[in-house]
């Protein structure tokens, strides 16, 4: 008996009218059964194409109806019935699904292995099939014996669903960020954009992850091979290449963010270098001799000169230096470069840090002290400094006379100006050794008066105080 069907050859596509080409059936088995009771073999290529179409468009009714009809034609009536119910879930007016359920109210299953009868095996009659159904034997073509339905655990299934939803959200976020970075020269940018678009739409099968997998394996091997030869300051070459991508992203984010939020991008990059890239710094320990890795995130900070700090220790050291923004670790090193002050960006970051906000008051106080000294006092201080530098006498009497004259002059000044001279501290360094001076202006005068320091060193400090 001839069958009328709209199914086409493998490799051909189906138009919009393919599912509706099925006419009404004259009997219950006319669509699906031949005269000898056998069912045709399934067209696996067609089934694969239909499943791919459903994965791209889960609401595609035409593909689902074709799948239902093909299952029924092969004798897979359970699967056909399920597809019919799914069609009706989305469209209750689907005539093909309604007709199938009307003509097959009960499950009448014959295994796909019946198609093997055409290869010379004995054919089973319809009476034998009906008797097997009465005795409860397996009728599913994919199951040889009756088995209880497999119930999946709820927790793993929910975890899988949540993970899939999170994957789609992350893909959408990455896609939006990638579109903002179109002006940057990123290799394979177009291919990665297409992959992200496919992921954001749930088309996981269309994403090519082979290149990414090779990149991950290569990166892991190169990291292991070069781990022994890491440089102290910059790290290996692969780590530098890995760092370039987030650095470009931070620059792009800073350009998009308002000025008040731009420091947050640099702060995030600082923590990423420390916690993920494991950057190595100039100092191995904090001022309290603790390991850099033991610094809590809330206290961690790095300066532009490559030092890592515990902000609690750094704020305490700057406060003890009366607010002078000098690197307290550099003064312990005999370096040729005399500049040991923090940069303007570092000073701004220190003052804005929650643990360094109290240092801003010290900065204001030092600024007021500089403005509270009259020009005549500065001239007297300059005269004293020059005398201390040129005095080469054996007893140092000229220096002592100059100090007494300056101290006598200070006694005639108002108490506020005396306090300004005593407490003023400038970022001065020794002209010979490059070591930083820790004394205030008034403290240096008292030390040389009591012979605690060399008069030439005190003169060096006072000359810089006058210029400051």
**Could you tell me which residue, 358 or 164, shows the higher pLDDT?**
164
Residue ranges of domains in the chain: 19-134, 160-215, 281-367, 372-467
pLDDT value, residue 301:
92
Query: pLDDT by residue (tens digit) across 234-288?
Result: 445 566 777 788 888 888 888 888 888 888 888 889 998 898 888 889 888 888 8
Average pLDDT over residues 136-162: 60
pLDDT band at 118 (very low <50, low <70, confident <90, very high): very low
Q: With contact defined as beta carbons under 8 Å apart, do 130 and 99 qualify?
A: no
Please determine, for residue 300, whether its predicted confidence score (pLDDT) is greater than 90.
yes
Q: Which one is predicted more confidently, 104 or 245?
A: 245
Q: Which two tokens stand for residue 23?
A: 């006419």
Query: Given this model, what pLDDT does residue 435 score?
Result: 74
For residue 27, the model assigns a pLDDT of 37
* Positive or negative torsion for Cα 441, 444, 448, 454: negative
132, pLDDT greater than 50? no
Angle between helices 61-73 and 77-90 (to 10 degrees): 160
Q: Among the listed ranges 158-162, 231-235, 407-411, which one has the minimum average pLDDT value?
A: 231-235
The 10s digit of each residue's pLDDT in 10-19 is: 333 443 334 4
Check pLDDT > 70 for residue 327. yes
pLDDT at 364 over 80: no
Computed over every residue of the chain, the mean pLDDT equals: 70
- Statement: residue 157 has pLDDT above 70: yes
Q: How many CB atoms lie within 10 A of CB 119?
A: 6
pLDDT, residue 126, reads: 44
| pLDDT at residue 47, as a whole number | 83
The pTM of the full predicted model, rounded to 2 decimals, is 0.36
Question: Would residue 289 be called left, alpha or beta, if left means φ above 0 and alpha means ψ between -120 and 50 degrees?
Answer: left
Residue with more model confidence, 431 or 263: 263
Please tell me the number of Cα atoms within 13 Å of 15 on its side-chain side. 4
């Amino acid at each position: 008996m001839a069958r009328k069907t709209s199914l086409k050859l493998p490799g051909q596509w189906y138009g919009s009218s393919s599912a509706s080409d099925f006419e009404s059936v004259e009997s219950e088995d006319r669509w699906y059964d031949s005269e000898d009771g056998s069912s045709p073999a399934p067209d696996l290529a067609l089934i694969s194409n239909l499943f791919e179409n459903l994965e791209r468009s889960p609401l595609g009714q035409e593909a689902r109806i074709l799948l239902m009809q093909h299952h029924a034609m092969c004798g897979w009536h359970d699967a056909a019935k399920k597809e019919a119910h799914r069609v009706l879930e989305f469209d209750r007016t689907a005539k093909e699904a309604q007709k199938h359920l009307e003509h097959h109210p009960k499950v009448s299953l014959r295994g796909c292995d019946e198609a093997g009868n055409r290869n010379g095996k004995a054919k089973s009659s319809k009476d034998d099939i009906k008797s097997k159904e009465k005795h409860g034997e397996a009728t599913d073509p994919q199951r040889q014996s009756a088995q209880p339905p497999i119930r999946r655990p709820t927790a793993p299934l929910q975890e899988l669903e949540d993970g899939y939803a999170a994957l789609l959200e992350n893909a959408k976020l990455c896609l939006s960020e990638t579109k903002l970075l179109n002006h940057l020269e990123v290799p394979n940018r177009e291919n990665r954009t297409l992959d992200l678009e496919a992921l954001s739409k749930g088309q996981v099968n269309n994403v090519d992850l082979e290149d990414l997998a090779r990149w991950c394996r290569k990166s892991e091997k190169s990291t292991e091979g070069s781990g022994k030869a890491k440089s102290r300051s910059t790290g290996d070459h692969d780590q530098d290449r890995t760092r370039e991508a987030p650095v470009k992203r931070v620059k792009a984010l800073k350009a998009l963010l308002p000025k008040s939020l731009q420091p947050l991008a640099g702060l995030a990059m600082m923590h990423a270098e420390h916690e993920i890239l494991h950057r190595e710094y100039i100092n191995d320990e904090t001022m309290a001799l603790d390991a850099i890795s033991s610094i809590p995130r809330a206290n961690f900070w790095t300066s532009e000169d490559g030092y890592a700090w515990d902000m609690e220790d750094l704020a305490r050291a700057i406060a003890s230096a009366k607010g002078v923004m000098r690197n307290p670790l550099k003064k312990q090193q005999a370096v040729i470069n005399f500049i040991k002050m923090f940069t303007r960006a570092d000073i701004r970051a220190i003052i804005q840090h929650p643990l360094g906000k109290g240092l801003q008051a010290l900065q204001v106080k030092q600024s007021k002290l500089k403005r509270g000294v009259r020009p005549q006092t500065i001239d007297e201080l300059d005269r004293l400094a020059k005398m201390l530098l040129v005095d080469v006498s054996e007893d140092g009497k000229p220096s002592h006379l100059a100090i007494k004259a300056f101290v006598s002059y200070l006694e005639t000044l108002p108490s506020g100006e005396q306090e300004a001279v005593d407490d003023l501290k400038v970022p001065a360094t020794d002209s010979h050794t490059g070591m930083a001076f820790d004394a205030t202006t008034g403290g240096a005068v008292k030390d040389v008066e009591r012979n605690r320091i060399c008069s030439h060193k005190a003169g060096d400090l006072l000359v810089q105080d006058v210029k400051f």
